[in-house]
Structure 1
Amino acid sequence: MLTTEQKELVKATVPILKESGVLLTDYFYKRMLSGNPELKHVFNLANQRNKKQQTALAMAVLAYAEHIEDPSVLMPVVDGIGHKHVSLNIRPEQYMIVGKHLIASIGEVLGEAATPALLEAWTAAYNQLASIMTGHEDGLYHQQVQRPGGWSGWKPFTIKKKQKESSEITSFYLVPTDGGPVADFIPGQYLSIRLFIPELGLLQPRQYSISNAPNGEYYRISVKKEGAPEPNPDGLISNRLHSHVQEGDIVEVTAPAGSFFLKDQGDHPAIFISGGVGQTPLMSMLEALIRTGSKKPKTWIYGCKDIDAHAFKDQLELWAKENKEVSKHIFYDTPPTPPHTEQAYQGWVDLDLLDEAILAPNADYYICGPAPFITKHMKALLEKGIRREAIHFEEFGPQTLSFNEN
């Protein structure tokens, strides 16, 4: 339990964290992965390389320091991080390793400013945070194993089918190698997949949204082939799935997780906004609504570079044709030319080009994509008077975005 004096010491480090938080977390990760190289099998090296993981941790530590008097206000953040950790099979004993290196890093980076009292305060603060996180994650693990067919940790799955969806995206259909049942999930959630990378001599995990509605038969992930060449960590697993993994191969998978999912409440409209491979969790949501016979209006707003890169185009056309409640608004950087008949806007997704009646004030909005995409459309919706609590988003990779709920 933190004393009042310890809380004040932690809060006093807020200016330092604001100015040098990423410097501290970058030092911390290098120290930890050097001292405990086995954790290289756990952490996404691409997110280490591009500093997204360091930035996300710095923001989390800062938020915790700022709310040290009442950490309960951070529960939405704790929940999101907890789902990520459970998906990566993070366990309580690993928090002990992280704590050791984090406190040592604070002392080594701050130098003389890191007094024994300050380090003792941050040790108490970290132990409190670790207790909150592990307690929450224990509940999430429990939920996973309680589902019929649910499991904990890494489990072998077989690639039942590999299907090209566009010039960039390929789908992989996953079934349990042991022939067991396929556990249900909430539309919008994701899986972690782990592959051994010979070039690195490491196992590397990546998280991919499930792109189909629950069906009890398989999980489908739809993966974009990245432009970065191997063995560059960027796109390393995605590209390997495209080029090396074939039907019949076995991959390791963790149970579905994620706090971005369909809020299927009432008959008010659902509006889905995405670009590129960001459509994958939204495809799961839209299909689930259609499969359950929901009569609520469903609006699909989507953008990609050209018609050849448009995954699931035919499926969306079929859904819109067969369900009068489904409407779609497509944006292409390069518009199609005859004989294609696809009606599309030219350029990036721009909500200002849509009729105001499309953006219903009583709708739930779901946005998925990279941080700039989410920020742009979040701002546009708020400026149009849409309530913040009606806007839900998923940022691919470590969470670096935070929007006030009020």
Structure 2
Amino acid sequence: MSDLLFVRDHIQPPLPAPHRTSGVVLWLRTNLFSSVPSTIVTILAVLFLYWIIPPLYGFLIGDAVFSDPEGLRGEACRFEGVGACWVMIQGRWNTIIYGFFPNSELWRINLMFVIAIVLLVPMLVPKAPFGRTAALLFFLVFPVVAFILMSGGILGLRQVPTAQWGGLTLTLIISVIGITVSMPLGIFLALGRQSKLPIIKGFCVGFIEVWRAVPLITVLFMASVMFPLFTPQGVTPDTLLRAIIGIVLFESAYMAEVVRGGLQAIPRGQFEASSALGLSKVKTMVFVVLPQALKHVIPGIVNTFIALFKDTSLVTIIGLFELLNTVRSAARDVNWSSPTSDITGYVFAGFMFWIFCFGMSRYSIYMEGRLHTGHKR
């Protein structure tokens, strides 16, 4: 037994310190300089940034015109070497945000925005109180209040035709209506496409395929020119209403295909388990299948919403002054025109679109992380 025993008779030399598992140097070595190709790409990227950032900084900030103390308007941006004409954005701010809405009535739009934000916060923040109440008010009461505030003509409010609506306000109105209406319509179309009734399935398939096969710009032209032909004689639908109807029908077809993908991802066992519990087909679809299907396709749904928000810029072809068209008209105003006004306007419009699209994207990522139930890959 003694041969199996071992007693150390000298001190073991100390082991080297462990390698660092964090830090800037390790991160750079792992992500940017892990191999020769990675190092080459990193160097090229740094050279590209070194080439493009100084001119962008000079145009947007360094040589830009931010103030006009002498009241020169566009003249302040007509000197040689001048960068972005931000004074044009400041001078035409009301037009860019509110369109041609009367200045004395702008409080109505601001009030509408405040009400929308107050109702949206409880809806979008999961732990906020009164979420269901806010949702009911937003979808049932707020549209009526917003229409009264925008149109007027009652309760002593001055009537403002839709031709005077414009700017960022019009872009948000079209986007919110399009998102709110196309979502449930797309769900019904997706369910109808999976129906076993030939008439319902055929109608949904035909609707989806026809609208997905036509460009949105063509849809807007048709809504502007052809839609009045289907209305009673003497009735002329509003141009904004035609555009909204066209966008809703167009986007609902794409939404239907996104939802259909989620429905097909649900295993058959979910239906069988619901049937074993005695649930009807309607309850199975509403309480079991649809929640899971919509959760699976959150990225696709948000992607459709983002595409819809950007597609609102196409309504300019039928004479509506949404954000992009309003910025373009502001930049070409004789009093504010300059060599850099157009570029400044496009940069500003692009930045505004980016803010809203990036916000929707980040919120979708947050909802994905919150709703995943252990199957996240």
Structure with the higher strand share, 1 or 2: 1
The normalised TM-score by structure 1 is 0.24
Structure with the higher helix share, 1 or 2: 2
Instruction: Report which structure shows greater RCO (CA 8 Å, sep ≥6).
Output: 2
The normalised TM-score by structure 2 is 0.25
Select the structure of larger CA radius of gyration. Answer: 2
